[in-house]
Amino acid sequence: MNKITTFIKRIPKKASLLVLILAAAIIIPANLFAWGPDRPTYTIEHPADHVTFDSITNNPDYGDERNFVTIKDASVPGLSSWSDELQVQNGKEYLVRMYVHNNAASNLNLVAKDVTARFNVPTYSANRIQIDGYLSSSNATPSSVWDQAVFTDTNDFKIEYVPGSASYTNNVFTAGTPIADTVTSTGSLLGYSSMNGNIPGCFQYAGYLVFKVKAIEPSFDVQKTVRINGIDDKTFKETVNVQPGSKVDFQIYFNNNGGTQLTNVYASDVLPSGMTYVDGSALLYDSLGKHTLPDVLTTSGVNIGGYIPGGDAYVRFTAKIADNKDLTICGVNTLTNIGKITTSIGTKQDTATVTVTKTCQPNECKPGIPVGDSRCETPKECKPGIPVGDKRCAPTELPHTGPAEDVMNLIGIGTLVASIGYYRSSRRELLNRR
Protein backbone atom coordinates (compact mmCIF):
# COMPACT_ATOMS: atom_id res chain seq x y z
CA MET A 1 0.00 0.00 0.00
CA ASN A 2 2.86 2.44 0.83
CA LYS A 3 4.43 1.83 -2.59
CA ILE A 4 1.16 2.66 -4.32
CA THR A 5 0.81 5.88 -2.32
CA THR A 6 4.37 6.94 -3.17
CA PHE A 7 3.74 6.25 -6.86
CA ILE A 8 0.60 8.40 -6.86
CA LYS A 9 2.47 11.34 -5.22
CA ARG A 10 5.11 11.30 -7.98
CA ILE A 11 2.77 11.55 -10.98
CA PRO A 12 1.76 14.93 -12.53
CA LYS A 13 -1.33 16.59 -11.08
CA LYS A 14 -3.20 16.47 -14.41
CA ALA A 15 -2.92 12.70 -14.47
CA SER A 16 -3.45 12.16 -10.76
CA LEU A 17 -7.26 12.09 -10.96
CA LEU A 18 -7.24 9.34 -13.59
CA VAL A 19 -4.70 7.32 -11.62
CA LEU A 20 -6.74 7.66 -8.44
CA ILE A 21 -9.81 6.35 -10.26
CA LEU A 22 -7.82 3.39 -11.58
CA ALA A 23 -6.32 2.76 -8.15
CA ALA A 24 -9.78 2.79 -6.59
CA ALA A 25 -10.94 0.23 -9.14
CA ILE A 26 -8.07 -2.04 -8.11
CA ILE A 27 -7.62 -1.42 -4.38
CA ILE A 28 -11.20 -1.17 -3.18
CA PRO A 29 -12.43 -4.43 -4.76
CA ALA A 30 -9.35 -6.20 -3.35
CA ASN A 31 -10.34 -5.15 0.15
CA LEU A 32 -14.02 -5.84 -0.42
CA PHE A 33 -13.35 -9.40 -1.49
CA ALA A 34 -10.43 -10.36 0.77
CA TRP A 35 -10.24 -9.72 4.54
CA GLY A 36 -11.82 -7.13 6.77
CA PRO A 37 -12.40 -4.81 8.37
CA ASP A 38 -9.46 -2.49 7.76
CA ARG A 39 -7.80 -2.45 11.19
CA PRO A 40 -4.52 -1.68 13.00
CA THR A 41 -1.88 -4.35 12.48
CA TYR A 42 0.83 -5.68 14.78
CA THR A 43 4.01 -7.73 14.66
CA ILE A 44 5.52 -10.51 16.71
CA GLU A 45 7.93 -7.96 18.18
CA HIS A 46 5.13 -5.54 19.02
CA PRO A 47 1.87 -7.36 19.79
CA ALA A 48 -1.41 -5.61 20.60
CA ASP A 49 -2.11 -3.85 23.88
CA HIS A 50 -5.75 -4.95 23.80
CA VAL A 51 -7.84 -7.91 22.74
CA THR A 52 -7.89 -8.17 18.96
CA PHE A 53 -7.80 -11.12 16.58
CA ASP A 54 -5.71 -12.10 13.58
CA SER A 55 -3.92 -8.78 13.00
CA ILE A 56 -0.23 -9.74 13.24
CA THR A 57 1.44 -9.49 9.85
CA ASN A 58 4.67 -11.46 10.43
CA ASN A 59 3.56 -14.58 12.29
CA PRO A 60 6.60 -16.94 11.87
CA ASP A 61 4.36 -20.01 11.68
CA TYR A 62 1.50 -18.56 9.66
CA GLY A 63 2.43 -15.31 7.93
CA ASP A 64 -0.09 -12.48 7.62
CA GLU A 65 -2.89 -13.42 10.01
CA ARG A 66 -5.45 -11.25 8.27
CA ASN A 67 -5.64 -14.02 5.70
CA PHE A 68 -7.03 -16.39 8.34
CA VAL A 69 -9.46 -18.44 6.19
CA THR A 70 -7.89 -20.90 3.72
CA ILE A 71 -8.90 -24.07 1.85
CA LYS A 72 -7.29 -27.24 0.48
CA ASP A 73 -8.02 -30.63 -1.06
CA ALA A 74 -8.93 -32.99 1.80
CA SER A 75 -6.96 -35.83 0.16
CA VAL A 76 -3.68 -33.88 0.36
CA PRO A 77 -1.86 -34.83 3.58
CA GLY A 78 0.23 -32.56 5.79
CA LEU A 79 0.03 -28.91 6.74
CA SER A 80 0.86 -27.49 3.30
CA SER A 81 -1.17 -26.71 0.16
CA TRP A 82 -3.55 -24.27 1.87
CA SER A 83 -4.71 -21.50 -0.46
CA ASP A 84 -7.27 -18.72 -0.88
CA GLU A 85 -8.70 -20.16 -4.10
CA LEU A 86 -8.81 -23.54 -5.83
CA GLN A 87 -10.66 -25.36 -8.59
CA VAL A 88 -12.97 -28.15 -7.47
CA GLN A 89 -13.73 -31.58 -8.87
CA ASN A 90 -17.17 -33.12 -8.74
CA GLY A 91 -17.68 -35.31 -5.69
CA LYS A 92 -14.40 -34.42 -3.94
CA GLU A 93 -14.13 -33.18 -0.36
CA TYR A 94 -12.22 -30.07 0.70
CA LEU A 95 -11.05 -28.63 4.03
CA VAL A 96 -11.88 -25.13 5.20
CA ARG A 97 -9.58 -23.74 7.91
CA MET A 98 -9.77 -20.74 10.25
CA TYR A 99 -6.73 -19.57 12.21
CA VAL A 100 -7.67 -18.17 15.64
CA HIS A 101 -5.20 -15.95 17.57
CA ASN A 102 -5.81 -13.36 20.31
CA ASN A 103 -3.03 -10.84 19.54
CA ALA A 104 -2.94 -9.29 23.02
CA ALA A 105 0.56 -9.37 24.61
CA SER A 106 0.97 -12.27 27.03
CA ASN A 107 2.12 -10.08 29.92
CA LEU A 108 -1.23 -8.24 29.87
CA ASN A 109 -3.20 -11.38 30.71
CA LEU A 110 -6.11 -10.22 28.54
CA VAL A 111 -8.66 -12.94 27.88
CA ALA A 112 -11.03 -12.70 24.92
CA LYS A 113 -14.64 -13.41 25.88
CA ASP A 114 -17.45 -15.11 23.97
CA VAL A 115 -15.15 -16.03 21.09
CA THR A 116 -17.38 -17.34 18.31
CA ALA A 117 -16.61 -18.70 14.87
CA ARG A 118 -19.19 -18.59 12.13
CA PHE A 119 -19.04 -19.49 8.44
CA ASN A 120 -21.29 -18.62 5.56
CA VAL A 121 -21.49 -21.67 3.27
CA PRO A 122 -23.67 -20.72 0.26
CA THR A 123 -26.36 -23.12 -0.90
CA TYR A 124 -26.65 -21.83 -4.47
CA SER A 125 -25.02 -23.26 -7.60
CA ALA A 126 -22.42 -21.27 -9.53
CA ASN A 127 -19.00 -21.64 -11.14
CA ARG A 128 -17.47 -19.47 -8.38
CA ILE A 129 -18.49 -19.85 -4.73
CA GLN A 130 -17.09 -17.76 -1.89
CA ILE A 131 -17.04 -18.97 1.72
CA ASP A 132 -16.82 -16.24 4.36
CA GLY A 133 -15.47 -16.91 7.85
CA TYR A 134 -16.27 -14.58 10.80
CA LEU A 135 -14.42 -14.52 14.14
CA SER A 136 -15.94 -12.40 16.91
CA SER A 137 -15.47 -11.61 20.60
CA SER A 138 -17.54 -9.43 22.93
CA ASN A 139 -14.47 -7.55 24.29
CA ALA A 140 -12.30 -7.46 21.16
CA THR A 141 -11.52 -4.43 18.98
CA PRO A 142 -12.78 -4.74 16.35
CA SER A 143 -15.48 -6.99 17.72
CA SER A 144 -15.54 -9.08 14.55
CA VAL A 145 -13.05 -9.83 11.78
CA TRP A 146 -13.63 -11.78 8.62
CA ASP A 147 -11.86 -13.41 5.69
CA GLN A 148 -12.84 -15.48 2.68
CA ALA A 149 -11.82 -18.33 0.40
CA VAL A 150 -13.11 -19.11 -3.08
CA PHE A 151 -13.96 -22.36 -4.88
CA THR A 152 -14.13 -22.30 -8.69
CA ASP A 153 -14.85 -24.56 -11.64
CA THR A 154 -15.63 -24.27 -15.34
CA ASN A 155 -19.14 -25.67 -14.71
CA ASP A 156 -21.70 -24.70 -12.12
CA PHE A 157 -21.42 -26.62 -8.87
CA LYS A 158 -22.59 -26.56 -5.27
CA ILE A 159 -20.66 -26.65 -2.00
CA GLU A 160 -22.16 -28.70 0.84
CA TYR A 161 -20.99 -28.77 4.45
CA VAL A 162 -20.18 -32.28 5.67
CA PRO A 163 -22.13 -32.69 8.96
CA GLY A 164 -20.05 -33.61 11.99
CA SER A 165 -16.75 -32.72 10.34
CA ALA A 166 -15.90 -29.53 12.30
CA SER A 167 -13.17 -29.71 14.93
CA TYR A 168 -10.85 -27.35 16.84
CA THR A 169 -7.16 -28.04 17.47
CA ASN A 170 -4.80 -26.26 19.88
CA ASN A 171 -2.13 -27.09 22.47
CA VAL A 172 -4.74 -28.72 24.70
CA PHE A 173 -6.78 -30.55 22.06
CA THR A 174 -3.89 -31.76 19.94
CA ALA A 175 -6.04 -34.39 18.19
CA GLY A 176 -8.92 -31.94 17.80
CA THR A 177 -12.21 -31.55 19.66
CA PRO A 178 -15.63 -31.61 17.96
CA ILE A 179 -17.32 -28.32 17.13
CA ALA A 180 -21.09 -28.02 16.72
CA ASP A 181 -22.51 -27.96 13.20
CA THR A 182 -23.96 -24.54 14.02
CA VAL A 183 -20.56 -23.20 12.96
CA THR A 184 -22.05 -22.90 9.45
CA SER A 185 -25.21 -21.13 10.63
CA THR A 186 -25.51 -19.23 13.92
CA GLY A 187 -21.91 -19.89 14.96
CA SER A 188 -20.10 -21.99 17.59
CA LEU A 189 -18.12 -21.05 20.69
CA LEU A 190 -14.36 -21.66 20.76
CA GLY A 191 -11.93 -21.70 23.70
CA TYR A 192 -8.64 -22.97 24.99
CA SER A 193 -9.02 -25.64 27.70
CA SER A 194 -12.72 -25.98 26.90
CA MET A 195 -15.07 -24.56 24.30
CA ASN A 196 -16.41 -21.94 26.72
CA GLY A 197 -15.67 -18.86 24.60
CA ASN A 198 -12.52 -17.78 26.54
CA ILE A 199 -9.16 -17.49 24.77
CA PRO A 200 -6.13 -15.81 26.46
CA GLY A 201 -3.70 -13.65 24.49
CA CYS A 202 -0.45 -15.07 23.04
CA PHE A 203 0.70 -17.69 20.50
CA GLN A 204 0.45 -20.60 22.91
CA TYR A 205 -3.33 -20.14 23.06
CA ALA A 206 -3.90 -20.00 19.30
CA GLY A 207 -5.76 -22.74 17.43
CA TYR A 208 -7.25 -23.95 14.16
CA LEU A 209 -10.88 -24.58 13.32
CA VAL A 210 -11.26 -27.03 10.41
CA PHE A 211 -14.29 -28.59 8.68
CA LYS A 212 -15.09 -30.39 5.43
CA VAL A 213 -17.19 -29.42 2.46
CA LYS A 214 -18.06 -31.41 -0.65
CA ALA A 215 -18.22 -30.12 -4.22
CA ILE A 216 -21.21 -31.40 -6.15
CA GLU A 217 -21.95 -30.60 -9.77
CA PRO A 218 -25.50 -30.77 -11.15
CA SER A 219 -26.20 -33.92 -13.14
CA PHE A 220 -29.12 -35.97 -14.44
CA ASP A 221 -29.81 -39.27 -16.15
CA VAL A 222 -32.22 -40.26 -18.95
CA GLN A 223 -33.45 -43.75 -19.89
CA LYS A 224 -35.76 -44.63 -22.80
CA THR A 225 -37.70 -47.90 -22.89
CA VAL A 226 -40.70 -49.46 -24.67
CA ARG A 227 -43.38 -52.13 -24.19
CA ILE A 228 -46.17 -53.60 -26.31
CA ASN A 229 -49.47 -51.89 -25.61
CA GLY A 230 -52.38 -53.94 -24.28
CA ILE A 231 -50.63 -57.16 -23.25
CA ASP A 232 -50.23 -58.73 -19.84
CA ASP A 233 -46.47 -58.14 -19.68
CA LYS A 234 -46.15 -54.51 -18.50
CA THR A 235 -42.34 -54.55 -18.38
CA PHE A 236 -40.56 -51.76 -20.26
CA LYS A 237 -37.61 -52.97 -22.32
CA GLU A 238 -34.88 -51.64 -24.61
CA THR A 239 -36.45 -53.28 -27.67
CA VAL A 240 -39.66 -55.12 -28.66
CA ASN A 241 -40.91 -56.95 -31.75
CA VAL A 242 -44.46 -56.16 -32.89
CA GLN A 243 -46.93 -56.74 -35.72
CA PRO A 244 -47.82 -54.09 -38.31
CA GLY A 245 -50.67 -51.83 -37.16
CA SER A 246 -50.14 -52.54 -33.43
CA LYS A 247 -49.41 -50.02 -30.64
CA VAL A 248 -46.49 -49.57 -28.23
CA ASP A 249 -46.00 -47.56 -25.04
CA PHE A 250 -42.82 -45.51 -24.69
CA GLN A 251 -41.33 -44.32 -21.40
CA ILE A 252 -38.78 -41.56 -20.71
CA TYR A 253 -37.28 -41.79 -17.22
CA PHE A 254 -35.63 -38.70 -15.74
CA ASN A 255 -33.53 -38.69 -12.56
CA ASN A 256 -31.78 -35.70 -10.95
CA ASN A 257 -28.69 -37.55 -9.71
CA GLY A 258 -26.66 -34.40 -9.09
CA GLY A 259 -26.37 -32.25 -6.02
CA THR A 260 -28.40 -29.23 -7.15
CA GLN A 261 -32.04 -28.53 -7.91
CA LEU A 262 -33.00 -28.50 -11.60
CA THR A 263 -35.88 -26.26 -12.68
CA ASN A 264 -37.82 -26.08 -15.95
CA VAL A 265 -37.02 -29.60 -17.08
CA TYR A 266 -38.28 -30.28 -20.62
CA ALA A 267 -39.16 -33.68 -22.09
CA SER A 268 -39.44 -34.29 -25.83
CA ASP A 269 -39.53 -37.24 -28.22
CA VAL A 270 -38.56 -37.91 -31.84
CA LEU A 271 -40.69 -40.55 -33.56
CA PRO A 272 -39.23 -42.36 -36.59
CA SER A 273 -40.98 -42.89 -39.92
CA GLY A 274 -43.44 -45.75 -39.65
CA MET A 275 -44.78 -44.65 -36.26
CA THR A 276 -47.34 -42.01 -35.18
CA TYR A 277 -48.20 -40.44 -31.81
CA VAL A 278 -51.59 -41.34 -30.30
CA ASP A 279 -53.35 -38.14 -29.27
CA GLY A 280 -54.15 -37.76 -25.57
CA SER A 281 -51.81 -40.54 -24.47
CA ALA A 282 -48.99 -38.51 -22.82
CA LEU A 283 -48.80 -38.86 -19.03
CA LEU A 284 -46.38 -37.67 -16.32
CA TYR A 285 -45.72 -39.66 -13.14
CA ASP A 286 -43.82 -37.84 -10.37
CA SER A 287 -43.81 -37.52 -6.58
CA LEU A 288 -47.16 -35.71 -6.73
CA GLY A 289 -48.90 -38.44 -8.70
CA LYS A 290 -50.21 -38.85 -12.25
CA HIS A 291 -50.69 -35.89 -14.62
CA THR A 292 -51.97 -35.54 -18.19
CA LEU A 293 -49.58 -33.78 -20.55
CA PRO A 294 -50.46 -31.71 -23.63
CA ASP A 295 -50.01 -33.28 -27.06
CA VAL A 296 -46.75 -31.46 -27.81
CA LEU A 297 -44.32 -34.10 -26.59
CA THR A 298 -43.31 -35.12 -30.13
CA THR A 299 -43.28 -31.56 -31.48
CA SER A 300 -42.11 -28.69 -29.24
CA GLY A 301 -41.65 -30.71 -26.05
CA VAL A 302 -43.28 -30.15 -22.65
CA ASN A 303 -42.12 -28.63 -19.33
CA ILE A 304 -42.38 -31.33 -16.64
CA GLY A 305 -41.34 -29.04 -13.74
CA GLY A 306 -38.44 -28.80 -11.31
CA TYR A 307 -36.71 -31.52 -9.29
CA ILE A 308 -34.58 -31.50 -6.16
CA PRO A 309 -31.49 -33.73 -5.91
CA GLY A 310 -32.71 -37.31 -6.07
CA GLY A 311 -36.03 -36.31 -7.64
CA ASP A 312 -37.28 -38.27 -10.64
CA ALA A 313 -40.19 -38.59 -13.07
CA TYR A 314 -41.64 -40.88 -15.76
CA VAL A 315 -43.10 -39.61 -19.03
CA ARG A 316 -45.20 -42.15 -20.95
CA PHE A 317 -47.14 -42.07 -24.22
CA THR A 318 -48.51 -44.43 -26.88
CA ALA A 319 -47.51 -44.67 -30.55
CA LYS A 320 -49.10 -46.63 -33.42
CA ILE A 321 -47.05 -48.71 -35.85
CA ALA A 322 -47.82 -48.29 -39.56
CA ASP A 323 -49.96 -50.89 -41.33
CA ASN A 324 -48.25 -53.53 -43.45
CA LYS A 325 -48.85 -51.67 -46.74
CA ASP A 326 -47.39 -48.43 -45.35
CA LEU A 327 -44.14 -49.86 -44.07
CA THR A 328 -41.13 -48.88 -46.13
CA ILE A 329 -39.08 -52.05 -46.42
CA CYS A 330 -40.09 -55.61 -47.21
CA GLY A 331 -38.94 -57.78 -44.37
CA VAL A 332 -37.71 -56.42 -41.02
CA ASN A 333 -38.16 -52.69 -40.35
CA THR A 334 -36.16 -51.30 -37.40
CA LEU A 335 -37.80 -48.20 -35.89
CA THR A 336 -35.62 -46.28 -33.42
CA ASN A 337 -37.31 -43.81 -31.08
CA ILE A 338 -35.38 -41.01 -29.34
CA GLY A 339 -36.37 -39.57 -25.96
CA LYS A 340 -34.79 -36.29 -24.80
CA ILE A 341 -34.54 -34.35 -21.54
CA THR A 342 -33.37 -30.73 -21.64
CA THR A 343 -32.30 -28.76 -18.53
CA SER A 344 -30.34 -25.61 -17.75
CA ILE A 345 -27.15 -27.70 -17.72
CA GLY A 346 -27.69 -29.40 -21.07
CA THR A 347 -29.59 -32.07 -23.01
CA LYS A 348 -29.36 -35.84 -22.77
CA GLN A 349 -31.12 -38.50 -24.83
CA ASP A 350 -31.62 -42.24 -25.03
CA THR A 351 -33.23 -44.61 -27.53
CA ALA A 352 -35.60 -47.57 -27.65
CA THR A 353 -36.10 -49.84 -30.66
CA VAL A 354 -39.19 -51.45 -32.22
CA THR A 355 -38.85 -54.09 -34.95
CA VAL A 356 -41.76 -54.94 -37.27
CA THR A 357 -41.84 -57.25 -40.31
CA LYS A 358 -43.51 -56.22 -43.58
CA THR A 359 -44.95 -59.16 -45.52
CA CYS A 360 -44.46 -58.72 -49.28
CA GLN A 361 -46.20 -60.40 -52.28
CA PRO A 362 -44.12 -62.47 -54.75
CA ASN A 363 -44.14 -59.68 -57.34
CA GLU A 364 -42.98 -57.16 -54.79
CA CYS A 365 -39.42 -56.33 -53.90
CA LYS A 366 -36.90 -58.52 -52.16
CA PRO A 367 -36.37 -58.01 -48.38
CA GLY A 368 -34.34 -54.91 -47.68
CA ILE A 369 -35.24 -53.07 -50.93
CA PRO A 370 -37.89 -50.30 -50.67
CA VAL A 371 -41.07 -50.76 -52.67
CA GLY A 372 -40.86 -48.72 -55.90
CA ASP A 373 -37.08 -49.07 -56.20
CA SER A 374 -35.97 -49.64 -59.80
CA ARG A 375 -34.21 -52.76 -58.67
CA CYS A 376 -37.66 -54.28 -58.14
CA GLU A 377 -38.35 -54.31 -61.91
CA THR A 378 -38.26 -57.83 -63.37
CA PRO A 379 -35.86 -58.14 -66.36
CA LYS A 380 -37.74 -59.51 -69.37
CA GLU A 381 -34.91 -60.64 -71.68
CA CYS A 382 -32.01 -60.45 -69.28
CA LYS A 383 -30.35 -63.06 -67.19
CA PRO A 384 -31.02 -62.94 -63.45
CA GLY A 385 -28.98 -60.24 -61.81
CA ILE A 386 -28.43 -58.13 -65.00
CA PRO A 387 -30.46 -54.88 -65.17
CA VAL A 388 -32.81 -54.30 -68.07
CA GLY A 389 -31.05 -52.25 -70.76
CA ASP A 390 -27.63 -53.64 -70.01
CA LYS A 391 -25.67 -54.39 -73.25
CA ARG A 392 -25.25 -57.92 -72.01
CA CYS A 393 -28.98 -58.34 -72.52
CA ALA A 394 -28.69 -57.77 -76.36
CA PRO A 395 -30.10 -60.70 -78.53
CA THR A 396 -27.54 -63.23 -79.71
CA GLU A 397 -28.91 -63.60 -83.38
CA LEU A 398 -28.51 -61.01 -86.12
CA PRO A 399 -31.48 -58.81 -86.84
CA HIS A 400 -33.67 -59.14 -89.96
CA THR A 401 -32.91 -56.42 -92.60
CA GLY A 402 -35.50 -56.95 -95.41
CA PRO A 403 -34.64 -57.72 -99.14
CA ALA A 404 -30.92 -57.75 -98.63
CA GLU A 405 -31.41 -60.51 -96.15
CA ASP A 406 -33.37 -62.57 -98.74
CA VAL A 407 -30.62 -62.17 -101.35
CA MET A 408 -28.03 -63.35 -98.89
CA ASN A 409 -30.19 -66.35 -98.10
CA LEU A 410 -30.41 -67.30 -101.82
CA ILE A 411 -26.67 -66.97 -102.26
CA GLY A 412 -26.13 -69.19 -99.28
CA ILE A 413 -28.48 -71.86 -100.58
CA GLY A 414 -26.83 -71.77 -104.04
CA THR A 415 -23.41 -72.17 -102.54
CA LEU A 416 -24.61 -75.13 -100.52
CA VAL A 417 -26.11 -76.90 -103.59
CA ALA A 418 -22.95 -76.29 -105.63
CA SER A 419 -20.83 -77.73 -102.84
CA ILE A 420 -22.93 -80.87 -102.70
CA GLY A 421 -22.69 -81.35 -106.53
CA TYR A 422 -18.94 -80.89 -106.49
CA TYR A 423 -18.63 -83.42 -103.69
CA ARG A 424 -20.63 -86.10 -105.60
CA SER A 425 -18.68 -85.57 -108.85
CA SER A 426 -15.38 -85.92 -107.03
CA ARG A 427 -16.50 -89.19 -105.46
CA ARG A 428 -17.48 -90.76 -108.86
CA GLU A 429 -14.16 -89.81 -110.48
CA LEU A 430 -12.27 -91.34 -107.60
CA LEU A 431 -14.19 -94.62 -107.89
CA ASN A 432 -13.56 -94.85 -111.68
CA ARG A 433 -9.82 -94.59 -111.14
CA ARG A 434 -9.87 -97.59 -108.85
> Tens digit of pLDDT for each residue in 101-152?
999 999 999 999 999 999 999 988 899 999 999 999 999 999 999 999 999 9
75/399: higher pLDDT: 75
What was the pLDDT predicted at 422? 53
**8 Å CB contact between 104 and 51:** yes
Q: How confident is the model at residue 388 (pLDDT cuts 50, 70, 90)?
A: low
Question: pLDDT (tens digit, 9 = 90+) per residue, 416-428?
Answer: 545 555 555 554 5
Q: How confident is the model at residue 342 (pLDDT cuts 50, 70, 90)?
A: very high
Question: What's the CATH fold of domain 221-358?
Answer: Immunoglobulin-like (2.60.40)
Within 8 A by CB and 6+ apart from 231, the residues are: none
Strand partners, 284: 291, 315
CA 112/CA 336 separation, integer angstroms: 72
Instruction: Say whether pLDDT at 288 is over 60.
Output: yes
432/365: higher pLDDT: 365
Distance of CA 97 to the CA centre of its chain: 31
387/251: higher pLDDT: 251
Which range (93-102, 215-224, 386-395, 396-405) has the least confidence?
396-405
Question: pLDDT (tens digit, 9 = 90+) per residue, 293-334?
Answer: 999 999 999 999 999 989 999 999 999 999 999 999 999 999
CA 220/CA 222 separation, integer angstroms: 7
What is the overall mean pLDDT for the chain? Answer: 85
Strand partners, 145: 135
Average pLDDT over residues 337-351: 95
**8 Å CB contact between 92 and 74:** yes
Question: pLDDT (tens digit, 9 = 90+) per residue, 352-378?
Answer: 999 999 999 766 565 666 656 655 554
What was the pLDDT predicted at 34? 81
What percent of the chain lies above the pLDDT cut of 70?
A: 76
Please count the other Cβ atoms lying within 10 Å of the Cβ belonging to residue 189.
18
CA 187/CA 419 separation, integer angstroms: 131
3-state secondary structure the chain: CHHHHHHHHHCCHHHHHHHHHHHHHHHHHHHHCCCECCCCCECCCCCECCCCECCECCECCCECCCCCEEEEECCCCCCCCCECEEECCCCCEEEEEEEECECECHHHCCEECCCEEEEECCCCCEEEEEEEEEEECCCCCCCEEEEEEEEEEEEEEEEEECCCCCEEECCCCCCCEECCHHHHCCCEECCCCCCCCCEECCHHHCEEEEEEEEEECCCCEEEEEEEECCCCCCCCECEEEECCCCEEEEEEEEECCCCCCECCCEEEEECCCCEEECCCCCEEEECCEEEECCCCCCCCCEECCCECCCCEEEEEEEEEECCHHHCCECEEEEEEEEEEEEECCEEEEEEEEEEEEECCCCCCCCCCCECCCHHHCCCCCCCCCCCCCCHHHCCCCCCCCCHHHHHHHHHHHHHHHHHHHHHHHHHHHHHHHC
Q: What is the CA radius of gyration of the chain?
A: 45
What was the pLDDT predicted at 344? 87
What was the pLDDT predicted at 155? 84
For CA atoms 4, 10, 15, 16, give the dihedral sign.
positive
Average pLDDT over residues 340-363: 92
Q: At what angle do helices 13-32 and 2-10 cross, to 10 degrees?
A: 160
What was the pLDDT predicted at 123? 87
The structural domains of the chain, with segments of one domain joined by +, span 1-32, 39-216, 221-358
What was the pLDDT predicted at 5? 42
What was the pLDDT predicted at 8? 39
Q: How confident is the model at residue 9 (pLDDT cuts 50, 70, 90)?
A: very low
Within 8 A by CB and 6+ apart from 357, the residues are: 244, 331, 332, 333
Instruction: Say whether pLDDT at 247 is over 80.
Output: yes
Average pLDDT over residues 16-34: 44
Question: pLDDT (tens digit, 9 = 90+) per residue, 147-193?
Answer: 999 999 998 898 999 999 999 999 999 999 999 999 999 999 999 99
